[in-house]
Structure 1
Amino acid sequence: MRRKPPAGAVTKAPEGLPSAIIENWEWHDRAACQDVNPELFFAAESERGLRKRAREVLAKSLCGTCPVRRQCAEHALTVGEMYGVWGGITEEEREPALHGRHH
C-alpha cells in the first residue's frame, strides 16, 4: 500500500502565501512503517494505561529501525500532529513542543 499526503494537504501554496507545510512527502516511501497496520501507531479511543504504553513501546521500537525517523518526527512537530507515534515520539512527548508554539 503506497501512502499519500493526507486529504486536503497543501502541496503548493498559491502565489503570495507562505510555502506549503508539506513540501516533501517522499520520505514516507522509505518509512519502516509503510506496510504496517496504522493501529500500531494510533490509540483506540478506549485504550489506556499499560495496553497503551505497550503499543507505544512496540511502535517506537519500529521507529528506531526507520531510515526516515528524523523526517517523520519533524513532520509531526511542523504540522502539529496531535495523535499517534511519529518518528518515535508519542503525542504526550510532543505536547510540550506543540504548546510552546502557541504562546
Structure 2
Amino acid sequence: MAHFHRLPGPIADIWAWQHRGACRDRDSGQFFHPDGERGASRGRREREAKKVCQHCPVRAQCAAYALATREPYGVWGGFTEHERLRLLREGWSVSSSGEIDIRRLEARLTTVTAQ
C-alpha cells in the first residue's frame, strides 16, 4: 500500500517563495555577472543587487536555497557566490524549521573576513 502522506507537495509549493522576491521583475543581469566582469564594475553590480535583497520578504528562503543547492552563480539572498563559498567552507546551519538566520550569516562573514 502506498503512503501518499509521505510524498512532497506540488512543486509549485516548494518554489512559491520566488513569486514574492524583490528581484522578480528586475533584469537578471543585475544579479549574475556577464562574462569577463571583474573588479570595480563587478563590485558595484553586486552591491546594487544586495541592496535589492536587503528588504526582500523572502531573503531567508532565497539564501537557504542557494546554500543548500550550492548555487554557483549570482547574488542570492544578499550573498555573492564568493560569500556563499566562504559560508559553506566555514559551515552554516539551518534551524529545524528550515529557516536560516541572515544576521548570523552576515556576522559569520565579518568574522571570517577579519581572520
- TM-score, normalising length: structure 2: 0.65
What is the aligned length?
Answer: 84
Moved more, 22-31 or 46-55: 22-31
Q: Name segments (4+ residues, structure 1) moved above 6 Å.
A: none
Which of 83, 89, 110 is the matching residue for 1:93?
Answer: 83
- The alignment yields a C-alpha RMSD, in angstroms, of 2.4
1:64-95 per-residue CA deviation (whole Å, 9 max, x = no partner) reads 12000000000000111011000000001001
| Alignment of 1:28 onto 2:2 | no
- Please tell me whether Structure 1 or Structure 2 has the larger radius of gyration of its CA atoms: 2
Amino acid aligned to 1:89: F
Q: C-alpha separation between the residues in 1 aligned to 2:48 and 2:83?
A: 16
TM-fit CA distance, 1:97 = 3.1
| Alignment of 1:56 onto 2:46 | yes
| Alignment of 1:37 onto 2:30 | no
Amino acid aligned to 1:78: A
Which of 72, 87, 93 is the matching residue for 2:62?
Answer: 72
Amino acid aligned to 2:49: A
Q: C-alpha separation between the residues in 2 aligned to 1:75 and 1:39?
A: 20
Unmatched 5+ residue regions in structure 1? 1-18
Which SS does the other structure have where 1:25 is aligned? helix
Q: C-alpha separation between the residues in 2 aligned to 1:33 and 1:74?
A: 16
Amino acid aligned to 1:72: C
Unmatched 5+ residue regions in structure 2? 1-7, 92-115
